[in-house]
Amino acid sequence: MTLPETDTDTPADRALKALAHGDASVRLRAALTVGTDPRPPHIAPLLARCAIEPDFSVREMLTWALTRHPSDATLPGLLAELRSPRAQARGQALHTLSKTGDRRAWPALTRSLLTDADDEVARTAWRAAVALVPEEEAPELAAVLATQLGRGGRETRLSLSRALIALGDAGTSVLRAAAHGPDPLVRDHALVTEALRRDPDAGFDCAVEEAKRIVALGTAGREG
C-alpha cells in the first residue's frame, strides 16, 4: 500500500516511499535523497530496505545514507540487525559498521559472525573486524580467522588473506603456525597468504603459484 503524501512531507520523507519502487534507478535516487537529509525516523526504514534490496548499487547508497546519520542513532539498529536470521541483513549491517568505524560495535562481532555459514557474511565480518578491533585484541581475532583458512573459493580466500595481512604481526604469527599444520588446504592457504604478504603487488594468483613452488620444494626435500 502506498501512503498518501501530506503537506508536511519532506523530499526525504517522500523518497522513503520510493525505496520500494520496482525500478532500481528510482530506488538509487531515493536513497541518495534520504541521505542528503538525515533524520532519526529514517533509520529504521533504511535498515529494513538494506535487508531485502537486491541491487548492489542501491545497497551501497543505503549504507551511505545510514552513515550520514549520527553513529549514536544508527548503532542500536545495526547491532540488532547482526542477530537477524536473514544473511543479507547481517552482511549489510556489518558493511555499514565497517564504514562508520564505531569501535563500540566491536564486542558484537562474535565468533559466530566471523565463522558465519554464509560466505558473503563471513567475508564482510572479517573486513569489519579488522577495521574495529582494538590493538590488544588483534591476536585473538587472528586466531579465530585462522580457523577459516582453506575455506571457500578464490574470493573468499582472498578476503581472508587480506584480513590476516591487515592484522600485522598477529596475523603473521598464526600464518606461520598454519603453514606447518597437517591439513593441506589450511597449509596451502597460509602459504599463499604469506606469499601475498611478502609481495602484495604480485596478486593472489601469483601468490598461489609461489605457494605451489614452496610445497613442491618441500616435498622434494623430504623425498631426498
* Mean pLDDT within 112-121: 98
Q: In this structure, are 99 and 180 located in the same domain?
A: no
Binned at pLDDT 50, 70 and 90, residue 210 comes out as: low
- pLDDT tens digit sequence for 28-61: 999 999 999 999 999 999 999 999 999 999 999 9
Please tell me the distance from the alpha carbon of residue 88 to that of residue 65, in angstroms, as a whole number: 17
Q: In this structure, are 179 and 222 located in the same domain?
A: yes
Q: What is residue 221's predicted lDDT score, i.e. its pLDDT?
A: 37
Residue bearing the bigger pLDDT, 180 or 95: 95
Query: What mean pLDDT, rounded, does the chain reach?
Result: 89
Q: In this structure, are 63 and 80 located in the same domain?
A: yes
Q: What is residue 13's predicted lDDT score, i.e. its pLDDT?
A: 83
Q: In this structure, are 90 and 170 located in the same domain?
A: no
Binned at pLDDT 50, 70 and 90, residue 211 comes out as: low
Note whether residue 2 is domain-resident: no
Q: In this structure, are 142 and 185 located in the same domain?
A: yes
Q: What is residue 2's predicted lDDT score, i.e. its pLDDT?
A: 43
Please tell me the distance from the alpha carbon of residue 149 to that of residue 178, in angstroms, as a whole number: 8
Residue bearing the bigger pLDDT, 78 or 213: 78
Q: Which amino acid is at 161?
A: S
Q: In this structure, are 143 and 219 located in the same domain?
A: yes
- Residue 192's nearest CA partner among 168, 153, 156, 157 is 157
Q: What is residue 178's predicted lDDT score, i.e. its pLDDT?
A: 95
Q: In this structure, are 161 and 116 located in the same domain?
A: no
> Do the beta carbons of residue 121 and residue 90 sit within 8 Å?
yes
What domain range is 177 assigned to?
Answer: 137-224
| Radius of gyration for the chain, computed over Cα atoms and rounded to the nearest angstrom | 21
Domain end point (choices 111, 132, 153): 132
Please tell me the distance from the alpha carbon of residue 161 to that of residue 145, in angstroms, as a whole number: 9
Q: In this structure, are 122 and 143 located in the same domain?
A: no
Q: In this structure, are 184 and 171 located in the same domain?
A: yes
Q: Tally the domains of the chain.
A: 2
CATH number at residue 120: 1.25.10
Please tell me the distance from the alpha carbon of residue 85 to that of residue 102, in angstroms, as a whole number: 23
Note whether residue 37 is domain-resident: no
> What's the Cα-to-Cα distance from 209 to each of 169, 189, 195, rounded to whole Å?
24, 11, 9
